[in-house]
Structure 1
């Protein structure tokens, strides 16, 4: 097995690919941009590494993503040789370009949501139809909740429904335009400014203190993020021990129009993937509810409790 691994890595381009994919999960087109090579050449090298077991691939609709194999002998092998792969100039440039691509992803997402903010409630209704997501989220808030947080609060439809259930509420979103509409909504409903706080920020680096909240929700947001697991880890950080999290998102589907019309990056998630992300972040799953909504999509609502400390 080791001979096959060494043989697969006996090429400078494949070494560069492994170095990149030890740090990021990227699509073929993104790897083509980073390496500045033709797609057929990059695909050939990816095939060799995948057949050797050093890379894993994941299909999401029409897109295929690659990453270093996360478990098993191949993973152990890569971890063992990583100290002997010092980054040269080309590898450092690769990492810089990969970071730029991730920043570009986030910027495009912000631009998209700023552009469609005024129409977001209507777009949400197209997908959810008569499903009362704000009501379901509000019903999950525990009694005697001091602070409830809506992560990716958008225009504030859920945030407004959290107010009767919590002492104060915090809304976080990466789109300044969304937060402006959210503020207008709350002001229009006569909510005192002392009852809410709206904060701009990314969900993988939340503008909240450790253990600041008793309840948090993240609704139809994870499928827009490059790294959903990072957002769930941050949700754990800002929740008090025993705090409750509600995640609402779509199960895996193949509706490619969700990318262009709604800005989705992921075409839903396997339930096992969401569960693993929650457990890795330090949560214990306590509830699982599934419903069919518009476009024949399956919506899953997962509730989880934050353990006192994340697992090591």
Structure 2
């Protein structure tokens, strides 16, 4: 249990107060914090450790990077309320204004890195997209599939560039994207920041998601399952996240014979038959259905949905 005295002691150094203000604005790596603060990484790391020990900040490893965010809301909300009141009464601290300007440079660096990443991979993505119906049509179909109820707590598995969060995150109570690739998470982070969207992004494996059971109302697996060596296990793990009444939406290809996608793009599965997908959803304790087949090219995109069965809802209740 933390007391007020410990909280204020952890903020006794002005640098730590600046760090908290920066993390309130956006999640940052230690290197990015050092860039904004104009201090060495070891020195910033020492300050960060004190804030973490006080529960005011949290760290999360993502590949070779370490990202930092503010601590749980109950711990930091009173502090932010005090800082806001102080600013209203006495104006912004000069350091805050300067840090905000340097933070804009960090955002610009992230955006530039995202552009470079897309430039390297654009040809492959464009070729794959040319094989199936347009993305706008697919996204419209996903929106229709989600339109019958509130999105609630959204989890996007294999978030990639964060597109599903970009589309549906504004309607969610909270949005969280998970991806195995640190590179893709950095792209998503830049894109979502540019769109003005607040979402949590975590590195994780679709077979062992770093989330508790019953923590999501809507789970999306968009064009990810064809990379899975064990798709049934991935579906089961996604279903574990669903709270009572939650739903899982899977978007992927119907069966096809484009063998080059296996060799060139690392597709482990050449699409999925409805029967197989519905069987996996049922085995995961969900009532599965085929939402829509989207034809319009050599590849057909299918949307499947799974919802908790009545029996499972009763057990949970």
TM-score bracket, shorter-length normalisation: 0.5 to 0.7
Give 1:262 deviation, angstroms: 2.3
Aligned counterpart, 1:145: 151
Aligned counterpart, 2:86: none
| Deviating more after overlay: 137-146 vs 199-208 | 137-146
1:164 matched to 2:166? The reply is no
Q: Which runs of 5+ in 1 are unaligned?
A: 1-113
* The one of 170, 174, 178 aligned to 2:180: 174
Quick check: 1:288–1:302 contact (8 Å CA) kept in 2?
A: yes
Quick check: 1:245–1:306 contact (8 Å CA) kept in 2?
A: no
* The one of 140, 147, 152 aligned to 1:135: 140
* Secondary structure at 1:184 match in 2: helix
Determine the C-alpha separation between the residues in 1 that align with 2:182 and 2:160. 9
**Per-residue Cα deviation, 1:86-113 (whole angstroms, up to 9, x for no partner):** xxxxxxxxxxxxxxxxxxxxxxxxxxxx
* The one of 261, 267, 272 aligned to 2:270: 267
Over 4 Å off, 4+ runs: 114-118
Quick check: 2:132–2:300 contact (8 Å CA) kept in 1?
A: no
User: TM-score when scaled to structure 1?
Assistant: 0.57
- Count how many residue pairs are aligned between Structure 1 and Structure 2: 194
Determine the C-alpha separation between the residues in 2 that align with 1:117 and 1:140. 33
* The one of 292, 307, 312 aligned to 1:309: 312
User: TM-score when scaled to structure 2?
Assistant: 0.56
Aligned counterpart, 1:186: 192
| Deviating more after overlay: 166-175 vs 254-263 | 254-263
Q: Which runs of 5+ in 2 are unaligned?
A: 1-116
Quick check: 2:278–2:289 contact (8 Å CA) kept in 1?
A: no
Aligned counterpart, 1:298: 300
1:123–1:187 distance in 2 versus 1, CA, 3 Å: farther
**Per-residue Cα deviation, 1:206-239 (whole angstroms, up to 9, x for no partner):** 1111111100111111110110011111111101
Give 1:116 deviation, angstroms: 9.2
